[in-house]
């Protein structure tokens, strides 16, 4: 029987999901854990999508919004890439990151033109959408950097003279090579992570921890397959 404290809150749990590649990877995993949407999420125009479990609903959004929704308690659980969590700023104080789902793996890297001079420590112009992460990286490296925030077409920035180098996600590395770039530094290994609002976990520990455990078990089983 659930404790009284858990009956006094909204019985519906909200899961915030990262649209795109991560969503496609995560949906089969959630289905194995007994969590399935009542609509086709990639095609749905609804903002709040009910699940087969009447006490669960889902929201699909941009990756950078998932940590915000979870940190502010609008969603109790979220699934998004580690790159988004690195950019979450003060929001990280309000959620736990208990599970690496091991899905949608890629790398966050620093890449430079293949013909860039070696050992150049002059101030650099860096194109990236990962502004906070880039600032930390260059600060720790002891290098001066002007961060130019872009939301797409990052690889083209050095080609047109907008930036000297970039920080971006790489999977196979083919896009970098096609644009005359090479990886110089690995900044972080990226994969889909499950996060939980801290306050919600305290209030609804049994319900949320049970759900997280079910998803984690399926992720571990999938990784061993």
Model confidence at 198, in pLDDT bands (50, 70, 90)? Answer: very high
So what's the pLDDT on residue 10?
A: 65
Mean pLDDT of 113-129: 86
Q: Is the dihedral of CA 13, 9, 66, 108 positive or negative?
A: negative
Model confidence at 1, in pLDDT bands (50, 70, 90)? Answer: very low
Find, among 205, 216, 210, 201, the residue nearest to 73 by Cα.
201
Model confidence at 223, in pLDDT bands (50, 70, 90)? Answer: confident
Contact present, 14 and 58 (Cβ < 8 Å): yes
Total-model pTM: 0.90
Mean pLDDT of 112-131: 88
Model confidence at 121, in pLDDT bands (50, 70, 90)? Answer: low
DSSP one-letter string for 153-189: -TTHHHHTTS-SEEEEEESSSHHHHHTTEEEEEEEEE
So what's the pLDDT on residue 2?
A: 44
Q: What is the C-alpha to C-alpha distance for residues 41 and 17, in angstroms, rounded to an integer? A: 10
Model confidence at 97, in pLDDT bands (50, 70, 90)? Answer: very high
Mean pLDDT of 121-129: 90
**What's the mean pLDDT when you consider all of the chain?**
92
Model confidence at 11, in pLDDT bands (50, 70, 90)? Answer: confident
Who has greater pLDDT, 42 or 191?
191
Return the C-alpha torsion angle 94, 76, 27, 212, nearest 10: 80
Task: Look up the CATH architecture of domain 4-104+191-224.
Answer: 3-Layer(aba) Sandwich (3.40)
What pLDDT, in 10s, does the model give residues 173-196? 999 999 999 999 999 999 999 999
169, β-bridge pairs? 108
What pLDDT, in 10s, does the model give residues 69-83? 999 999 999 999 999
At the topology level, CATH places domain 107-188 in D-Maltodextrin-Binding Protein; domain 2 (3.40.190)
So what's the pLDDT on residue 9?
A: 55
So what's the pLDDT on residue 64?
A: 95
Model confidence at 127, in pLDDT bands (50, 70, 90)? Answer: very high
CATH 3.40.190.10 location in the chain = 4-104+191-224, 107-188
Both tokens of 99, joined, read 């599970």
Q: Say which DSSP state 47 is in.
A: S
Return the C-alpha torsion angle 18, 24, 28, 30, nearest 10: 10
């Amino acid at each position: 029987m659930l404790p009284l404290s858990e009956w006094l809150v909204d019985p519906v749990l909200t899961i915030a999901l990262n649209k795109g590649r991560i969503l496609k990877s995560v949906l089969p995993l959630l289905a194995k854990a007994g969590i399935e949407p009542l609509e086709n999420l990639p095609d749905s125009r609804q903002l709040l999508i009910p699940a087969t479990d009447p006490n669960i609903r889902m929201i699909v959004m941009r990756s950078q919004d998932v940590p915000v929704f979870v940190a502010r308690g609008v969603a109790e659980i979220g699934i998004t890439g580690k790159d988004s969590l690195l950019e979450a700023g003060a929001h990280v104080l309000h959620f736990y990151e208990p599970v690496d789902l091991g899905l949608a793996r890629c790398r966050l890297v620093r890449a430079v033109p293949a013909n860039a001079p070696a050992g150049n420590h002059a101030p650099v112009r860096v194109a990236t959408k990962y502004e906070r992460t880039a600032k930390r990286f260059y600060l720790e490296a002891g290098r001066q950097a002007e961060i130019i925030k872009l939301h797409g077409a990052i690889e083209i920035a050095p080609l047109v003279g907008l930036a000297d180098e970039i920080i971006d996600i790489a999977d196979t590395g083919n896009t970098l090579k096609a644009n005359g770039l090479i990886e110089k530094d690995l900044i972080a290994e990226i994969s889909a992570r499950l996060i939980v609002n801290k306050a919600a976990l305290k209030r609804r520990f049994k319900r949320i921890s049970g759900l997280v455990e079910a998803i984690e078990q399926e992720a571990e089983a999938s990784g061993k397959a």
